[in-house]
A = this chain, B = another copy of it.
């Protein structure tokens, strides 16, 4: 055991017989320092296992901390997992350190406030709602706030979001092209922004096509939720011939339930999902769905972040990622 205290620059200085300033300079590429002395210092540092404490360095006030808080809801959703993975890699590639805030919705609110205690370069929030106090704090602290999967109107808050309404229109159009007229919507939790936009888009598209939904229902974006909701829809509207689901997991659950009830998909009923998760194209699944492009979303998010860091006081921007219909074998 080397003792409880962390190795400090002073220890290295003593070990190499130089001043602490020299140690600091040895780790700062531009600084003037005798080459021989530098290599000796680095050798001693290596020996002792010394690394400059980036927190103490960041305290200097100059430059950025490279610390970015990433708020994710619960990650038990396939699309959110993919999004998260791509975002982590993207941040790493840009030299940012992601500080992840996860957990129950009720805990997360307090945690967001707590994470603001770090000298963050930015706060990235995925999906779930951001409370007014958080937005307020960010504004006062001058911490850029970038929101994904949701659009909110606040000064200097940037948003990137899939085109939910457009996707819903594409889904209705695809169902209509198959001759479906008794169409239902199975949405996610109504308090979620994504569901609100998809539901509104669905209703608008139906109205535009001169159709009236035979039923609407909600579940929790899970497979099991989709199964149960499909049974409810079927009981309420036995003539159902088209179903637009708020995400892929629920669509797959619904298909399982419908087939279990003796309905053939897609012959008797068309089902369309949302997201195009990685398993959607697998044989035996082959789900017709709307592609929610996680990679493009992350790329735009990072671009927004970079622009915002460049010019913190610029106007708030909203970027919509286009949605594409992926025709497979369930509609």
Q: Check if A306 is an interface residue, CB within 8 A of chain B.
A: no
Q: Which residues of B contact A119 (CB under 8 A)?
A: 6, 53, 55
Contacts of A107-147 to chain B: CB distance below 8 A? 107, 111, 113, 115-119, 136-137, 139-142
A163, chain B: closest CB distance, angstroms: 25
Residues 247-275 of chain A, each 1 if its beta carbon lies under 8 Å from chain B, else 0:
00000110010011000000000000000
Chain B residues closer than 8 Å to A6, beta-carbon distance: 119, 141-142
A85 touches B76 (CB 8 A): yes
- Check if A231 is an interface residue, CB within 8 A of chain B: no
Complex interface residues of chain A between 1 and 31 (CB less than 8 A to chain B): 1-7
Contact between A85 and B98, CB atoms less than 8 A apart: no
Is the Cβ of A282 less than 8 Å from the Cβ of B141?
Answer: no
Q: Which residue of B lies closest to A116 (CB)?
A: B51
Chain A: number of interface residues, binned into ranges: 35 or more
Q: Among the listed B4, B59, B84, which residue makes an inter-chain contact with A56, where contact means beta carbons less than 8 Å apart?
A: B59
> Closest Cβ of chain B: how far from A328's Cβ, in Å?
14
Q: Are A49 and B97 in contact (CB under 8 A)?
A: no
- Chain B nearest CB, measured from A27 CB (Å): 10
Once the chains are docked, how many angstroms separate the CA of A116 from the CA of B55?
11
Give the docked Cα–Cα distance between A141 and B46 (Å).
11
Question: Using an 8 Å CB-CB cutoff, how does the interface string of A80-112 with B read, 1 for contact, 0 for none?
Answer: 011011001100110001111111100100010
Q: Are A55 and B118 in contact (CB under 8 A)?
A: yes
Does A202 reach chain B (CB closer than 8 Å)? no
Flag whether A52 is at the interface (Cβ < 8 A).
yes
Hey, which chain B residues are within 8 Å of A141, CB to CB? 6-7, 49, 51
Q: List the 9 closest A-B pairs by CB distance, nearest first.
A: A49-B140, A75-B85, A88-B102, A81-B81, A54-B117, A92-B103, A256-B283, A55-B55, A51-B117
For the complex with contacts A53-B117, A88-B103, A100-B100, 6 further pairs of A-B residues with Cβ separation under 8 Å are: A1-B313, A55-B59, A74-B85, A98-B99, A98-B102, A260-B283
Question: Could you jot down 6 A-B contacts, CB within 8 Å?
Answer: A2-B140, A51-B137, A55-B55, A55-B119, A89-B102, A97-B115
